[in-house]
């Protein structure tokens, strides 16, 4: 697992890179409704094990939560299940709101 900052993720998403990552938001539904990074896939942490087959193990996957703790746990879980390109968004959506999108609501 790698750590990825909000600014690094923003640069990746804005780049002309041919393969964009899956933005796996593992927060609860109410958190996702409050704010999320555009294009994120909502999959609450407690559902990841049951929905593992919905994800591709070889595709770059960025795990996202509020501050980066839950997403780190999910990223480690994914690695244990054969995912090879997993990153954790350091600081989560809170860092994204502070560093990339100041219009994003925070909580």
Can you spell out the DSSP letters for 31-95? HHHH---TTPEE--GGGTTTTGGGS-TTS-EEEE-SSSHHHHHHHHHHHHTT--SEEEETTHHHH
DSSP run (H or E) holding 4: strand 2-4
Give residue 16's domain range.
2-99
- At 51-71, the pLDDT tens digits run 999 999 999 999 999 999 999
pLDDT of residue 36: 98
Query: Residue 87's domain is classified under what CATH number?
Result: 3.40.250.10
Confidence of residue 93 (pLDDT cuts 50, 70, 90): very high
71 inside domain: yes
Catalytic residue of the set 43, 62, 64, 65: 65
pLDDT of residue 18: 83
pLDDT of residue 19: 86
Q: What is the mean pLDDT of residues 22-47?
A: 98
Six-digit token pair at 98? 């502070």
How many domains, the chain?
A: 1
107 inside domain: no
User: Is 63 an annotated catalytic residue?
Assistant: no
Buried b (16+ CB within 10 A) or exposed e, 77-107: bbeeeebebbbbbbbbbbbbbeebeeebeee
């Amino acid at each position: 697992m790698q750590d990825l900052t909000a600014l690094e993720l923003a640069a990746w998403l804005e780049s002309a890179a041919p393969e964009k990552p899956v933005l796996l938001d593992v927060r609860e539904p109410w958190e996702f409704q409050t704010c999320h990074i555009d294009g994120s896939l909502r999959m609450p942490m407690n559902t990841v094990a049951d929905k593992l087959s919905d994800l591709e193990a070889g595709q770059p996957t960025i795990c996202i939560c509020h501050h980066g703790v839950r997403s780190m746990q999910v990223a480690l879980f994914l690695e244990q299940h054969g995912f090879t390109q997993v990153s954790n968004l350091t600081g989560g959506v809170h860092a994204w709101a502070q560093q990339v999108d100041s219009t994003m609501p925070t909580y």
